[in-house]
Amino acid sequence: MAIANSPSKLSLPQNNPGVTTVLEYLALKFPSITSDVWEKRMTDGKVHWHDGSPISVNSPFAAQQRVYYYREVDNEPVIPFAEKIIFQDELILVAYKPHFLPVTPGGEYVEECLQSRLRNKTGNQRLQAVHRIDKATAGLVLFSVSPSSRQHYHHLFESHQVNKTYQAIASTSSKPVKINQQWEIKNRLERTGTRFLMHIVEGEANSHSRIRCLQCSADKALFELNPITGKTHQLRLHMLSLGWPLLYDTYYPQPLQPVKPDDYSKPMQLLAQQLQFTDPMTQQLRSFSSDTELSLER
């Protein structure tokens, strides 16, 4: 069994969903984890409040209080691809994340995620990702080194002050495309109710991307994508809305495919290739690029 070295945390909601204890809330929020498992974690001291005091099976629900717990999974998959540290100083760390590796713990992953690997590699257990890219996406991720400055880097992404450049390869067999064609996509994305899948709906736009075709071949093309906002699966859906689904995307356009093991020979062709921003602590322009690029010839 894999057990997280660092706790995960959640804030109890302001509106009580009809529970009496923290145990009841955790069982409600995480239906795949039985009450018996939560009881065992509480008995073993693996669930606690923000101040470190233990949460027991009888601890009452307390709105807006933080709960910390240590995730456990059986038979955690090992991702056979390596991360790479691109840059590190006393404020930030920028790393390249390979395809198939999640950024933070989740689902069946505890130690096999970018954040846990980097904490173990650097010895800094306070290292924390300040944004996310999908598990299926490769590319650059920014980490905060120190809790004292972390909120300022979070704010950069929340306020859309980071220029992000992605590369993508998409199938064009059903619809031709020309080099240097450009598109500006604005629409509304909402969850479908099926796992974490998203779809485009009517209403005020909450997502915005700029897209340009860089290269073409007979049946696929290389695109440059600049997401202005950061909605879940935004780039996948914006490419799909243009008629060019990303190569090896297992969620769109057929989102109801059965769950199956990752095919490491077919990584989704999406890469977070560049990050650029003005550092809120030093006021310096920071610009980082991955030494990995997507290619139509591979």
Per-residue pLDDT tens digits for 222-242 = 999 999 999 999 999 999 999
Q: Is the pLDDT at 60 greater than 90, yes or no?
A: yes
Q: pLDDT, tens digit, for every residue of 123-149?
A: 999 999 999 999 999 999 999 999 999
Alpha carbons 58 and 39: distance in angstroms, whole number = 10
What integer pLDDT is reported at residue 190 of this predicted model? 94
- Helix, strand counts (H, E) of the chain: 5, 16
Alpha carbons 42 and 84: distance in angstroms, whole number = 36
**What does residue 42 show for φ and ψ, rounded to 5 degrees?**
-65, -40
Percent above pLDDT 90 for the chain: 79
Place of tokens 């709105």: 63
Q: Is the pLDDT at 195 greater than 70, yes or no?
A: no
| Dihedral sign, Cα of residue 241, residue 229, residue 223, residue 180 | positive
Give the global pTM.
0.83
The SS3 of residue 179 is coil
Q: Is the pLDDT at 189 greater than 80, yes or no?
A: yes
At 71, is the pLDDT very low, low, confident or very high (cuts 50, 70, 90)? Answer: confident
| Domain annotation for the chain: domains and CATH numbers | 2-73 (3.10.290.10), 84-162 (3.30.2350.10), 164-271 (3.30.2350.10)
